[in-house]
Amino acid sequence: MDDSKLIYNPCLPGKYVEAFESSIWFNPDGIESWGETPKPYSVTFSGGESGGDFEECSNLARTLLRKNTNEWCKFEHKGDCSFAGVYQPPLPTQSRHFGEFFGFSNYLKVWKFLRLQPRSTLAQLQKNAQQMCSFSAFDLDEYIVGGGGATAGSADFCFLACYSFELLHNGYGFKLDDHITVANVINGQKVGWALGSALYEINALPWEYDDGGVRKAGVTMGVVIFFTMLGGVIVSLQVYKLKRELAGLKFNRKGAKGEVYGALL
């Protein structure tokens, strides 16, 4: 293969070659488009001589977060932004039983491939990702065999690890000593991307906060409670009055019987 046609990819293992094909084109401003024709283009990527490069790969992954589009979000929300111009409330202070982040789906795959504990810090993720990205193609094969077998797309895990780290650290803002827990079952319930997608779609609906509607609902509820209590008081008074009348009637009947008995005697 002609090395002059190879494109260096710091996210690939050393001396690893990978063909890539896509129909997505980029204009001079870096904006994606489908191009003028549907014909895809193909390129061939190659890793470095001895291994990949964690720092370079992380820098490339960080550009995907588009942090440079946060200007308006930072102004509008006083700095409470994540990435791509999206608002994010401040992260809670983590403790062992509060404020920790649960990852699933692809996070779980990355954690397993990097041989991380289910509950690990970002510093541990960074360390294992650095080791992964330093592998040559031969080192990666040895690593896979030692882990129990090949995994589809193994050569892409340097990038996936770097992207996961950048997303959590520079995207969401987790600190290096913050813990991330990965799982596919929580409290007996299976979790996956579909649940997160549903929550996102629900949150994306055009909800509007109607303060006036809340006040009206409060007034209506207050009126209902008032008349319910008033009705209860009225019913209680009627029951009390009825009991008094029944007691008086019973007393009068006893008095009448005594008079009859006296006359007979």
DSSP state of 83: S
Beta bridge partners of 81: 87
Looking at residue 116, its pLDDT comes to 94
Of the listed ranges 60-69, 91-100, 240-249, the one predicted with least confidence: 240-249
Range 200-213 average pLDDT: 70
Domain at 51-204: CATH code: 3.30.420.150
Range 239-250 average pLDDT: 66
CA proximity to 169, closest of 132, 122, 129: 122
Residue 2: pLDDT above 80?
A: no
State how far the Cα of 89 lies from the Cα of 124, in Å rounded to an integer: 25
Higher per-residue confidence, 210 vs 33:
33
Domain boundaries, the chain: 51-204, 215-265
Residue 104: CB atoms within 10 A of its CB come to 19
Share of the chain above pLDDT 90, in %: 26
Range 45-58 average pLDDT: 91
Range 109-115 average pLDDT: 92
pLDDT tens for 33-47 read 776 666 778 889 988
Across the chain, the runs of DSSP E, i.e. the strands, are 6-8, 17-22, 25-26, 32-33, 41-46, 101-103, 119-121, 179-182, 185-186, 189-190
State how far the Cα of 15 lies from the Cα of 156, in Å rounded to an integer: 14
State how far the Cα of 179 lies from the Cα of 156, in Å rounded to an integer: 24
Looking at residue 56, its pLDDT comes to 95
Average per-residue pLDDT in the chain? 79
Q: Which two tokens mark 209? A: 């906060």
What are the C-alpha distances in Å from 222 to residues 13, 215, 216, 229? 68, 10, 10, 11
Looking at residue 257, its pLDDT comes to 45
State how far the Cα of 104 lies from the Cα of 112, in Å rounded to an integer: 11
Q: Which two tokens mark 125? A: 């993720």
Q: Do the Cβ atoms of 128 and 114 come closer than 8 Å?
A: yes
Q: How confident is the model at residue 149 (pLDDT cuts 50, 70, 90)?
A: very low
Model's pTM, two decimal places? 0.68
For residue 183, how many C-alpha atoms fall within 13 Å in the half-sphere facing its CB?
A: 13
Q: Do the Cβ atoms of 122 and 177 come closer than 8 Å?
A: yes
Q: Which residues contact 171 (CB under 8 A, 6 or more apart)?
A: 65, 82, 83
Q: Which residues contact 261 (CB under 8 A, 6 or more apart)?
A: none
CA proximity to 96, closest of 123, 121, 124: 121
